[in-house]
Amino acid sequence: MTKADIVNEISKTTGIEKVTVQRTVEALMDTVKASLQKGNNVYLRGFGSFIVKKRAEKTARNISKNTTIIIPQHFIPAFKPAKTFVSQVKNHVE
């Protein structure tokens, strides 16, 4: 399902114009991204959490040059679904 599909579905079920729904969805995504960029997690009860995970510094190998490189510590966004959401998906996806 794409963002356009989500906008169409919300518009169809609520009766709100697609343009308004699209702006709202975009605003939600912008707010989540801005919060994660500041290092703040976003919790949506019953749905899940958008969290910032810390990746430790590690050593890797460049196989083509046969050298080792250091990958510095960095942060990545992640999503952790709520337990109720996980159980709903487990019981209904075919």
Question: What is residue 50's predicted lDDT score, i.e. its pLDDT?
Answer: 97
**Residue 75, Cα to own-chain centre: how many angstroms?**
14
Is the pTM value of this prediction over 0.85? no
- Domain ranges for the chain: 1-39, 41-94
Q: What is the pLDDT of residues 36-62, one digit of tens each?
A: 999 999 999 999 999 999 999 999 998
For 41-94, which CATH class? few secondary structures
Which of 22, 46, 34, 24 minimizes the C-alpha distance to 77?
A: 34
Between helices 3-14 and 18-37, what is the axis angle to 10°? 130
**Burial group, residue 7, by CB count within 10 angstroms (0-12, 13-18, 19+):** buried
**Residue 42, Cα to own-chain centre: how many angstroms?**
10
Cα separation, 47 vs 84, whole angstroms: 8
Q: What is the pLDDT of residues 60-83, one digit of tens each?
A: 998 899 899 999 999 999 999 999
